[in-house]
Structure 1
Amino acid sequence: MGTNPPVCDFGAPIHDFSLPGTDGKTWTLADVKGEKGTLVMFICNHCPYVMAVIDRIVRDAKELQALGVGVVAISSNDVVTYPQDGPEHMVTLAEEHGFTFPYLYDESQDVARAYEAACTPDFFGYNAAGELQYRGRLDESRREAAPADVRRDLFEAMKLVAATGKGPQEQVASIGCSIKWKD
């Protein structure tokens, strides 16, 4: 059964972080922030909702980066319970799918808590001023990818944010596996 995050809290501030990436570098918000906005994604390696759309996530991230939107993915799952979400497996996933954005490990889960991330995937789209403008789904996909011709909700929303600084008023929540919190 999937978990849905709450609807977009328009204007909520972006949160800073300092996390290790799959490339061995430590990344901060300043390193990933885009000139026209920033997309913070909570994903993981094992979630069927993420795996169903990982290639679409990579495609949309690359196209958004070309529009001046900074993109980062963060994995916050408890790796004691879900070892397949550990850093060494994150490196493999990022390489296999050609991530053009940093993939960071939130071992303490403090970043996920600051963002109030609920599931994987959970998308947070901010304007250039660091104000939340989108918290919705990638597209109609669930545990299986939707048809290739469905509306690209995340991409279209962030394209609007990049152009106007404002996200769409109508948003459909993402759905995915709950964040695996530590005991």
Structure 2
Amino acid sequence: MADTYSNMLPLGTKAPNFDLMDAKENRSFSLSDVNSDKGLLIIFGCNHCPFVLHVMPKLNEVIGEFHEKGISSFMINSNDPKIKPEDSFEKMGEFVDKYNLNMPYLYDETQEVAKAYDAACTPDIFLFDKDLKLVYRGQFDDSRPGKGVATGDDLRAALEALVSGNPISEVQKPSIGCNIKWRKA
């Protein structure tokens, strides 16, 4: 497993649009489906990555908590299932059930959405304000698989600041995880 860091999309970037199929409800979602008065959280994830699996229970808890505070959330899988069959759309449905996922889990089959967000790893986390401008991109917390318990401290601090109307620190650490499995040209 090679560690890959997020690319740190510039703060203030407007959320790129998407129209992707959800493995949870078997319907498509786009930015126009965001129903939030506070913001939008997008996590690029997948079914197999040890970094995603390490944070998943706590991430799901944080997402449920902040949904009640006005944050919409989506997880997007952009991995090529020819490289990682366990990341197929069908397997995504199993992942939703296993983790009782508190958000739509979208399939980026063409990988165009990952490219538009400059996503590099899983998990790669992006938090946008109510105007869909990027206010946080970075790690969930300082823990890693086999090193500490996932707390979500970094993301939670950004979410708390956003929902309370306080400034979010511009000191943000890149996320680290498995690289996105890009299609071969």
TM > 0.5 fold call: yes
CA contact (8 A) 2:39 2:72 kept: yes
Post-superposition offset of 1:10: 1.2
Kindly report which structure 2 residues correspond to 1:112-151, keeping only aligned pairs within 5 A, or say none.
112-144=114-146, 146-147=148-149, 150=151
Aligned residue type for 1:27: F
Q: Which amino acid aligns with 2:21?
A: P
What residue in structure 2 maps to residue 29 of structure 1? 31
Give the alignment's Cα RMSD to 1 decimal.
1.5
Deviation, 1:142, is: 1.5
Contact 1:77 1:180 in 2 (8 A): yes
- From the superposition, tell whether residues 33 and 110 of structure 1 become closer, same or farther in structure 2 (CA, over 3 Å): farther
- TM-score normalised by the chain length of structure 1: 0.94
Contact 1:20 1:26 in 2 (8 A): yes
> What amino acid is aligned across from residue 13 of structure 2 in structure 1?
A
Matched, 1:179 2:185: no
Distance between the aligned counterparts of 1:173 and 1:145, measured in 2? 17
Matching residue of 2:12: 11
Aligned to 2:66: 64
SS at match of 2:164: helix
Give, as a single letter, the amino acid of the residue that structure 2 aligns with 1:64.
Answer: F
1:79 matched to 2:78? The reply is no
Indicate if the aligned counterparts of 1:71 and 1:102 stay in contact, CA closer than 8 A: yes
**Cross-structure match for 1:168:** 169
State the TM-score, normalized to the length of structure 2: 0.93
Give unpaired runs (5+ residues) of structure 1.
Answer: none
Instruction: Determine if the alignment matches structure 1 residue 106 to structure 2 residue 108.
Output: yes
2:49 aligned with 1:39: no
Seq. identity, %: 36
What's the CA shift string for 1:141-170, capped at 9, x where partnerless?
21236236x561101112212222742221
Is this contact kept in 1: 2:140–2:152, CA < 8 A?
Answer: no
Number of positions where the alignment pairs a residue of Structure 1 with one of Structure 2: 182
